[in-house]
Amino acid sequence: MKSCTWFLAALSLTAIQYAAEQPLTPETLRKNALAVIQPLPQQMPGAEKDSPTLVALGKKLFFENKLSANQNQSCNSCHSVEQGRGGVDNEKTSPGAFGKRGGRNSPTVLNAGLHFAQFWDGRAESLEAQAKGPILNPIEMAMPNEPEVLKRLQGSSEYVDGFRKAFPKEKSPITYDNVANAIAAFERTLLTHDRVDDFLSGNDQALSAAELGGLQNFLTLGCTTCHHGPLLGGNSFQKIGLVNAYEDAEDVGRYSVTKDLDDKFKFKVPSLRNIALTAPYFHNGRVATLEDAVSSMAWLQLGRELSSNEKSSLVLFLRALSDKDRSKGRSH
């Protein structure tokens, strides 16, 4: 009787494991995914108030080299949105106006208006607050002060006219706040569209069978503990090295902002949207490939060593999160 009970229990366990390993139907997988991942919205918060004139001014400022001390650096230098780029420069850390590099990897500006805070340490609460930082940062764009920024813009008849049209109710519209307001308005247009959203919205053919398997692994291996919501991240801070210690103990992350010991080595969880376009990875850019980033995260945050099949399927799914136009038109 004892051996019979053991046999039935083992048979039951085997059946459960077998069922868990089987691919789900697209309908069931979609339902499971929508419980933790949502499609991106059609518009970023605040975009409904942005006039086309303001967006056009912001786009011009985003590409404007005059906003850097030696006039050879723009926002787009570190956060390139041209030629299918992922809103980054694909550098480990970015060179500033005079060649000196910052200490952190440049985050993407794509979908940035959906993040709950800006920068790796969350020190800026909005796109507008973020836009003010790099221009005056001595390593990045290195402008000495706000008046010098405004002086350069006021010396351009094109900008005098552009600010007047974008802020028609203001007597003196060229202000540092309005520089940031305009850049933020342009960045709110950088919303992406990928095949995962097509699948979540009901298109069963949007993802291949292998990509669906990657989504299933993403949902079951523990990735959604941190990477959930419309951005699959971008909505919380988390310690890097949650289970296994991370090798770099120099950058203390959010602790540098809050001075709260509980925030030591915590960073904003990056969005996985367009992740295949934004190598290298992590706050310090030390991980070169998406495959290595997946393996490292599984070990550091989950304490798991992924099989080759698990890793390859996750990477396939993550690549499907690339903006359709950018992944199709990117120059290599």
Structural domains in the chain?
A: 24-40+192-329 (1.10.760.10), 47-187 (1.10.760.10)
- pLDDT for position 302: 97
Name every residue whose Cβ is closer than 8 Å to that of residue 41 and which is 6 or more positions away in sequence. Answer: 114, 191, 230
Please give the structure tokens belonging to residue 198: 């097509």
- pLDDT for position 9: 38
Helix (H, G, I), strand (E, B) or coil at 262: helix
CB-based burial label for 266 (10 Å; 0-12, 13-18, 19+): buried
pLDDT higher than threshold 50 for residue 11: no
pLDDT band at 313 (very low <50, low <70, confident <90, very high): very high
167-177: b or e for each residue (b if 16 or more CB lie within 10 Å)? beeeeebbbbe
The DSSP code sequence of 172-202 is S---HHHHHHHHHHHHTT-----HHHHHHTT
pLDDT, tens digit, 9 for 90 and up, residues 87-133:
999 999 999 999 999 999 999 999 999 999 999 999 999 999 999 99
pLDDT band at 269 (very low <50, low <70, confident <90, very high): very high
Residues of the chain with pLDDT > 90, as a percent, come to: 90
Helix (H, G, I), strand (E, B) or coil at 5: helix
Name the residue among 214, 230, 199 with its Cα closest to residue 319.
214
CB 84 within 8 Å of CB 75: no
pLDDT band at 5 (very low <50, low <70, confident <90, very high): very low
- pLDDT for position 332: 37
Name the residue among 127, 128, 122, 140 with its Cα closest to residue 75.
140
Of residues 120 and 18, the one with the higher pLDDT is: 120
223-262: b or e for each residue (b if 16 or more CB lie within 10 Å)? bbebbbbbbbbbbbbbbbebeeebeeeebbbbbebbeeee
Annotation marks residue 21 as catalytic: no
CB 44 within 8 Å of CB 113: yes
Mean pLDDT of the chain: 93
pLDDT higher than threshold 80 for residue 81: yes
CA-to-CA distance for 332 and 329, rounded, in angstroms?
A: 9
- pLDDT for position 258: 98
Degrees (nearest 5) of the Cα angle 180, 184, 189?
A: 160
Please give the structure tokens belonging to residue 62: 């985003």
CA-to-CA distance for 52 and 103, rounded, in angstroms?
A: 35
pLDDT higher than threshold 90 for residue 25: yes
pLDDT higher than threshold 80 for residue 227: yes
- pLDDT for position 24: 83
- pLDDT for position 171: 96
Neighbouring C-beta atoms of residue 263, cutoff 10 Å? 19
CA-to-CA distance for 53 and 182, rounded, in angstroms?
A: 9
CA-to-CA distance for 71 and 310, rounded, in angstroms?
A: 47
Neighbouring C-beta atoms of residue 95, cutoff 10 Å? 16
CA-to-CA distance for 289 and 30, rounded, in angstroms?
A: 28
- pLDDT for position 330: 52
Q: Taking residues 130-143, report their average pLDDT.
A: 97
- pLDDT for position 21: 55
CA-to-CA distance for 221 and 22, rounded, in angstroms?
A: 15
pLDDT higher than threshold 70 for residue 30: yes
pLDDT higher than threshold 50 for residue 1: no
Q: Taking residues 186-197, report their average pLDDT.
A: 98
Catalytic residue selected from 21, 48, 82, 140: 140
User: Which residues on neighbouring strands pair with residue 281, listed in sequence order?
Assistant: 287
